[in-house]
Amino acid sequence: MAHAARRKTAPRKEDAVSLLKSDHEEVAKLFKKYENGEKKLSTPDKAALAKQICDALMVHTQIEEEIFYPACHEQIRDVDDLLNEAKVEHQSLKELIAKIEQDRPGTEEYDAQVKVLGEYVTHHVNEEHKELFPRARKSKMDLQTIGERLAARKEELETTL
């Protein structure tokens, strides 16, 4: 009976920076779960968790590259070097993700690849949080509309996984 009284609320619409930060927090939790369970998790559980990490990162990098980075390029002065560096970092992440997806889980090398991926992601996230996101907030970007576009594209990509 108590459940029937609950009202469903519409999901909170996040602006672009908040949405991207939420993605960063989610993937950080997944990496922590992998790291904490590295010795305890079964090989299939590690593989499933690594797949979840890789899928989340692929969706995240795609929405950044398709929507957020072009908007930053248009609205933020002198941001090209930062965006070019971010794209190179994304390419490195994609290459490591491809390697993880092709390798056999349950080996020390596999675990090391997931760990290095986490380190790459941490570095990339720190740069975005310290440099790109503050500049986006100070710009004239319509972060609410961009956030809606990011959320819609993210949902679309996640249904194809």
The answer to whether 117 and 23 have CB atoms below 8 angstroms apart is no
pLDDT per residue over 57-98, tens digit each?
Answer: 999 999 999 999 999 999 999 999 999 999 999 999 999 999
d(CA 25, CA 51): 17
Supply the pTM of this predicted model.
Answer: 0.89
Which amino acid is it at 77? R
pLDDT per residue over 91-113, tens digit each?
Answer: 999 999 999 999 989 888 999 99
Predicted confidence band at 1 (pLDDT cuts at 50, 70, 90)? very low
d(CA 72, CA 60): 16
Q: Domain locations in the chain?
A: 14-158
The answer to whether 31 and 121 have CB atoms below 8 angstroms apart is yes
CATH topology of domain 14-158: Four Helix Bundle (Hemerythrin (Met), subunit A) (1.20.120)
For the CA atoms of the chain, what is the radius of gyration? 18
